[in-house]
Amino acid sequence: MSDKPRVLVTRRLMPANEARLAADYDATLNESDDIMSTDEVIAAADGMDALLICVTEPLDANAIARLPDSVKAIMTLSVGLDHVDTDAAKARGIAVLNTPDAVTDPTVEIGMLLLLGAARRATEGAAIMRAREWDSWSPRMLVGADVTGGTLGIFGMGRIGRTLAKRARGFDMTIRYHNRTRLNFDDEAGASYYTSIEGLLEASPFLAITAPSTPETRKFLNAERIALLPDGAIVVNISRGDLVDDDALIDALKSGKVAAAGLDVFNGEPDNVRPEYLELPNVFITPHIGSAATDARTAMGDMLLDGLDLLLAGEPVPNRVV
């Protein structure tokens, strides 16, 4: 029997990560890359030192209670932790590791893509081209919103929010933000702090949602708050789908109160995304690919394995949540 740490990996990882797993660990890979059910994860976890999961394998309190005693760590290939009951893990003495720094730049790249795509009506333009319906040109054809020189309100000024602000400044955008606590002067980098979310919304013709999913932020963007946005506002969400009230946003997109939305995350993803988002021409969408860049995904896997090595050696783990 191998004396290497035993790791259950629930989805296929980047080739460099799998090569490291094969060399340094006694790893069980999910070769088919099919989503494993909770029962399958628990059964496969027997004798494992650690689980390396994704958002597709949620572990609630009941599931964590059923994990074998051998499991010392749950490693999630994500920043978000809404799919893992960290309190239940802590109660059992199971460490939880995530990947906070590795995803920042690629997620912000998708944020800027969504901002530009929504503002410049990219969904409609692509549809015309793919249908081979572009047969003329007009000064009023597909006229969108000016991003350069615009004003961007950011809800949530953590790593991703601050990096998004930095990229948006490249388009000479004015940055306004709301956060649980005000940033220090240097981190603000000229951004204006709003003590109330209501004040921020009223001053945000462009709005980016970058706050974490918590009980307090779920359905943050509801009908009452959408009503505070300037008419024709553009909304981008690169956080979690549950920060948005789908009914309210869809109604606003249909009425024109919100001119366009750029969305990478959804309630009910992937199987139960609201069909209106797929059908409305003023929605620019991507399938939760914020971290889907080669170097970033590889760095995420390495961060988790580095953390596991430190954990098993009894050393402090920088990316340990509990």
- Cite the active site residues: 240, 269, 288
Cα separation, 45 vs 40, in Å, equals: 8
Rg, Å, the chain Cα set = 21
- Residues with Cβ within 8 Å of 149's Cβ and at least 6 positions away in sequence, in order, are 171, 172, 173
Cα separation, 24 vs 248, in Å, equals: 49
Is 243 within 8 Å of 267 (Cβ atoms)?
Answer: no
Give me the sign of the Cα torsion angle 312, 314, 320, 322: positive
Give me the sign of the Cα torsion angle 156, 161, 162, 165: negative
Residue 287, preceding bond cis, omega within 30 degrees? no
Amino acid (1-letter code) at residue 291? S
Q: Cβ-count burial of 269 within 10 angstroms (0-12 exposed, 13-18 middle, 19+ buried)?
A: middle
Residue 73 main-chain phi, psi, to 5 deg? -150, 145
Give me the sign of the Cα torsion angle 6, 21, 85, 59: negative
Cα separation, 53 vs 150, in Å, equals: 40
